[in-house]
Structure 1
Amino acid sequence: MNRKNTGIQMTGKALLFINGVPPKILPEVEDYSLIACSDGAFHYLKEKKFPLSKLDFISGDFDSHAGNDEGVYQEKFIYTPDQDKTDFEKSLEIIKNRGFTEVHVYGASGGEMDHFLGNLTVAFKFKNLLRITFYDEFATYFFSPNQLVLNDVQHRTISLYPFPETKSVTTTGLNWSLNNENLNLTTRIGTRNFAKESQVTIEFEEGDLIIFLSHQPSE
């Protein structure tokens, strides 16, 4: 996956777990310079035998966590009680303030769908500050830069989702191509397309666009 014109300079990758459906397969921690979780996600990381000593911080209002029963991990708790922000948003603020610009997020989808939509909205707020990529059991998804190249994606499902509007979208390599066309949340979206070629390019002039890329080829 190559990106262009994001306006963001990378300083290392951060890994963040939040309190949605737990990932079935945990990522390799060696790939990240910072590892964090929300207080709710701390529960499933314990259950999955995640190496908790690798965590740099655990953030939240601790409404789903006793906050005093973890002994050696207490020094990693960052109490963030602001009820006007979600635990996800508060964790992103800490990551940004520590100088990171790229974040991989697990546990953002599934369960109560208002949480999932809220997580997308939080990511939208940070899209010019952090390069956020979500991972779940089915797909990878992210806000796209104006020019995007996806490699080695033949036969995989690719959905283009305007948020809420994307103007002058042009694609190559998709089964149903777009040629300088507009997408809008209330009139036309671009979900459930798939790559007919190994390389797919997506360009647009204005607006915001979420790309959903399936992990497995479509049947």
Structure 2
Amino acid sequence: MTAKVLLFINGVPPKTFPDLESYSLIACSDGAFHYLKENGFPLAQLDFISGDFDSHSGKDENVYQEKFIYTPDQDKTDFEKSLEIIQKKGFNKVDVYGGSGGEMDHFLGNLTVAFKFKEDLKITFFDEYSKYFFAPNNLVLNEVKNRLISLYPFPSATNVFTKGLNWPLQNETLDITNRIGTRNFAKENEVQIEFEKGNMVVFIGNKELT
């Protein structure tokens, strides 16, 4: 099993938690610590909690003081600082919960942070509606029939080819200022996505469309 990290950050809390046994390391930002505590997360399974801790006080937090990693740099977000710690620990695959929802500037900021790390970390975001990630130039998705598939250029992707989508692309360019590829869906169980240059975020819906 590939070693991977589960990271919670301070967006909308997940309604359910993933299987914790499938992760080699579990961490959160200090903002996410509050919603984990409120929603019955087994806090003892956290390996570290990163942040400036200006919102922390009280006996409950003091119990986990040894897991706090103080990161006061105000020029970086808590998400970015958490990823730096994860990278230094030698991991390269990260599942992120709490990356979207709420104030949308946080969501866009989190995408930008993920972009900065995309060469070194495979980061996948999960929320109530979908999972999403920066795609490699050649990508195959399995078991996705009738699911929403959105291709979002960041800011552009050239010579895009897809197979298995309801509206296929044939060597076309997607650009944030001209044409994007959102709200498509898979008509086959297997979807192929290729592009020559640029960057693209792929969103995969959690549920089949009806």
Match of 1:30 in 2: 21
Q: Verify: 1:184 aligned to 2:189, yes or no.
A: no
Q: Which residue of 2 aligns with 1:175?
A: 166
Rounded to whole Å, the distance in 1 between the matches of 2:207 and 2:163 is 20
Match of 1:205 among 190, 196, 206: 196
Is structure 2 residue 128 aligned with structure 1 residue 137?
Answer: yes
1:56 is aligned to 47
Structure 1 Cα separation of the partners of residues 58 and 171 of structure 2: 52
Q: 1:34-183 to 2 correspondence within 5 Å?
A: 34-66=25-57, 69-183=60-174
> Is residue 2:193 matched to residue 1:215?
no
Partner Cα distance (1:87, 1:68) in 2 = 23
- Structure 1 counterpart of 2:18, which letter? P
Contact 1:11–1:99 under 8 Å retained in 2:
no
- Length-normalised TM-score, structure 1: 0.93
Give the C-alpha shift of residue 69 in structure 1: 4.6
Number of matched pairs: 210
Relative to the length of structure 2, the TM-score reads 0.97
Q: Which sits farther off after the overlay, 135-144 or 54-63?
A: 54-63
Where do 5+ consecutive residues of structure 1 fail to align?
Answer: 1-9
| C-alpha separation in 2, matches of 1:68 and 1:191 | 47
Structure 2 segments unaligned to the other structure (5+ residues): none
> For residues 67 and 173 of structure 1, do their structure 2 counterparts lie closer, same or farther at Cα, with a shift above 3 Å needed?
farther
Letter in 2 for 1:98: K
Which runs of 4 or more aligned residues in structure 1 lie more than 3 Å from their structure 2 counterparts after TM superposition? Answer: none
Question: Residues 129 and 67 (structure 1 numbering): CA distance in 2 closer, same or farther, change over 3 Å?
Answer: farther
- Taking the aligned partners of 1:119 and 1:48, their CA distance within structure 2 comes to 23
User: What's the CA shift for 1:70?
Assistant: 1.9
Q: 1:142 to 1:103 in 2, by over 3 A?
A: same
**CA drift at 1:80:** 0.2
Distance in 2, Cα, partners of 1:128 & 1:68: 40
2-side partners of 1:67 and 1:145: how far apart? 45
Tell me how far 1:212 sits from its aligned partner.
0.4
2:51 and 2:88 map into 1 onto residues whose CA distance is 16
What are the Cα deviations for residues 114-152 of structure 1, in whole angstroms up to 9, with x where unaligned?
000000000000000100000000000000000000011
One-letter code aligned to 1:35: I
1:22-56 Cα offsets, whole Å, 9 max, x none, are: 00011111010000000000001011111111100
Identity %: 71
> Quick one: distance in 2 between partners of 1:67 and 1:184?
49
Distance 1:55 1:78, change over 3 A: same
